Amino acid sequence: MPIYEFQCKTCQFCFEEIIPASREDMPPCPRCGSSENVVRLVSACASQPGRKTESTCTPRGGFS
Protein backbone atom coordinates (compact mmCIF):
# COMPACT_ATOMS: atom_id res chain seq x y z
CA MET A 1 0.00 0.00 0.00
CA PRO A 2 1.28 3.49 -0.82
CA ILE A 3 2.03 6.24 1.66
CA TYR A 4 -0.01 9.37 1.05
CA GLU A 5 0.50 12.84 2.47
CA PHE A 6 -2.48 14.84 3.66
CA GLN A 7 -3.10 18.31 5.00
CA CYS A 8 -5.96 19.33 7.26
CA LYS A 9 -7.32 22.68 6.11
CA THR A 10 -8.99 23.18 9.52
CA CYS A 11 -5.80 23.18 11.62
CA GLN A 12 -3.11 23.17 8.84
CA PHE A 13 -1.56 19.93 10.18
CA CYS A 14 0.25 17.70 7.67
CA PHE A 15 0.36 13.95 8.14
CA GLU A 16 1.05 10.69 6.32
CA GLU A 17 -1.14 7.61 6.07
CA ILE A 18 -0.61 4.19 4.53
CA ILE A 19 -3.90 3.46 2.79
CA PRO A 20 -5.10 1.49 -0.25
CA ALA A 21 -4.93 3.43 -3.51
CA SER A 22 -8.60 2.61 -4.13
CA ARG A 23 -9.75 4.38 -0.95
CA GLU A 24 -11.62 7.55 -1.82
CA ASP A 25 -12.59 8.91 1.61
CA MET A 26 -10.08 11.01 3.49
CA PRO A 27 -8.63 9.85 6.81
CA PRO A 28 -9.38 12.00 9.86
CA CYS A 29 -6.77 14.51 11.00
CA PRO A 30 -4.81 13.05 13.94
CA ARG A 31 -4.60 16.50 15.54
CA CYS A 32 -8.17 17.88 15.39
CA GLY A 33 -10.19 14.88 14.17
CA SER A 34 -11.68 16.63 11.13
CA SER A 35 -12.12 14.53 7.99
CA GLU A 36 -14.23 17.01 6.01
CA ASN A 37 -11.38 19.48 5.40
CA VAL A 38 -8.55 17.01 4.69
CA VAL A 39 -6.93 17.08 1.25
CA ARG A 40 -4.44 14.72 -0.34
CA LEU A 41 -1.19 16.46 -1.30
CA VAL A 42 0.78 15.89 -4.46
CA SER A 43 4.13 14.43 -3.46
CA ALA A 44 7.37 14.46 -5.38
CA CYS A 45 8.38 10.92 -6.29
CA ALA A 46 11.91 11.73 -7.42
CA SER A 47 14.39 14.55 -7.07
CA GLN A 48 16.99 15.98 -9.38
CA PRO A 49 20.39 17.15 -8.13
CA GLY A 50 20.54 20.92 -7.81
CA ARG A 51 16.79 21.35 -8.01
CA LYS A 52 14.89 22.42 -4.91
CA THR A 53 11.25 21.73 -4.16
CA GLU A 54 9.18 23.77 -1.75
CA SER A 55 6.43 22.53 0.50
CA THR A 56 4.16 24.25 2.97
CA CYS A 57 4.42 21.18 5.21
CA THR A 58 7.35 20.34 7.41
CA PRO A 59 8.73 16.83 6.74
CA ARG A 60 8.20 14.50 9.68
CA GLY A 61 10.66 11.85 8.59
CA GLY A 62 10.02 8.62 6.78
CA PHE A 63 9.30 9.08 3.13
CA SER A 64 8.36 12.79 3.25
**pLDDT exceeds 70 at position 28:** yes
**pLDDT exceeds 50 at position 64:** no
More confident site: 44 or 19: 19
Instruction: Tell me the pTM.
Output: 0.65
Q: Quick one: pLDDT at residue 33?
A: 96
Distance in angstroms (rounded) separating the CA atoms of residues 64 and 61: 6
Whether the CA torsion 61, 18, 34, 42 is positive or negative: it is: positive
Distance in angstroms (rounded) separating the CA atoms of residues 22 and 58: 26
Could you tell me how far CA 14 lies from the centroid of its own chain?
Answer: 6
pLDDT tens figures, 45-56:
655 566 555 555
Domain boundaries, the chain: 1-64
Q: Quick one: pLDDT at residue 2?
A: 83
Distance in angstroms (rounded) separating the CA atoms of residues 37 and 28: 9
Q: Nearest-CA neighbor of 42 among 51, 53, 52, 33?
A: 53
